[in-house]
Amino acid sequence: MRRFLKWFGIIAGGLLGVFIVLLVVLFFVGSRKVDRTYDVQIASVAVPTDAASIARGKHYVEAIGVCQVCHGQDLAGPVVDDCKNDPCTGFSNDPIFGKLMPNNLTSGRGGTGSVFTDADYVRAIRHGIGRDNKSLLIMPSEQYNKISDEDLGAMIAYLKTLDPVDNELGESNLGPLGRVIAVIAGGLLPASQIDHSAARAPSPVVGVSVEYGGYLAEVCTICHGDGLTGSKVPGNERVDALNITLDGPLGDWTKSQFINTIRSGITPQGDLLDPRFMPWNRFTRMTDDELDAIWLYIQSLPGG
């Protein structure tokens, strides 16, 4: 018996040792990914100043890009105290996992507005890279990378018109657990997921078409995953965003049921979608044509 215990102790101790070594290795591999710098040529994007373009930028930010989900209602970043009781998407303030702070995008204190150049916005939104040339954390640039020059320019134009709000949030950074997770969770480091030198697709033609629906639905893949077959909400990994291809419940829905769901947040089954995780309360600002285009796109996906 004693011999057994001795061997048991040696094996358990050995396994624990291997596990600790593995964690340390993963920590260093993750840290290298986090600290990697990206030397990317930032193509210049025309930033218009006319009222129609600024209105287009506002529409993109509020209804399509749903930037407010993480950056807050007034785009000044989350109110940290609110996030303690009512989790904010894209937010974490935990020394073990790390600090994820969607930035203040206004020109108030702590905001990007007073320091960012147009190129800084393009680098951040399209490439997921900060001014230190490192990957931003969790900011869904892999999807925003597909935004056309026109929409990106309009969006930057709009961001520059935001009312200044003071909100100093400090730098984001990953703690030890976040660094270990970053080894496998590519979405934490968007710049690592993007082909920065890829040729840009031509700007989509606005209309009720599968093509334009696919362009708009890029944002849905942030949570519903590639091909809309289901995934997790970034920053709230416990929350499932369902399969919304016709293989899932939407296979039995009509177009008007789909549009009513986005407009009311209530599914044909009578379930209320939680706006903290499924931002229907923002998508509801999309025009009928935009929702029609997304519906057409969903019909065109495999499985339908």
- The footprint of ligand HEC (CB under 6 A) covers 61, 65-67, 69-71, 89-90, 100-103, 105, 112, 121, 124-125, 130-131, 136-140, 144, 155, 172, 217, 219-220, 222-224, 233-235, 239, 241-242, 244, 248-249, 261, 267, 271, 273-274, 277-279, 283, 294
- Minimum gap (Å) between residue 131 Cβ and ligand HEC: 5
Measured from the CB atom, the residue of 3 and 47 that comes closer to ligand HEC is: 47
**Distance between CA atoms of residues 246 and 268, nearest Å:** 15
Q: What is the widest separation between alpha-carbon atoms in the chain?
A: 84
**Distance between CA atoms of residues 139 and 90, nearest Å:** 8
- Minimum gap (Å) between residue 52 Cβ and ligand HEC: 19
Measured from the CB atom, the residue of 204 and 235 that comes closer to ligand HEC is: 235
Contact indicator for 102, 78 with CB cutoff of 8 Å: yes
**Distance between CA atoms of residues 25 and 32, nearest Å:** 11
- Minimum gap (Å) between residue 153 Cβ and ligand HEC: 12
**Distance between CA atoms of residues 54 and 288, nearest Å:** 21
- Minimum gap (Å) between residue 12 Cβ and ligand HEC: 39
- Minimum gap (Å) between residue 37 Cβ and ligand HEC: 13
Residues 6+ apart with CB under 8 A from 206: 212
Residues 6+ apart with CB under 8 A from 211: 204, 205
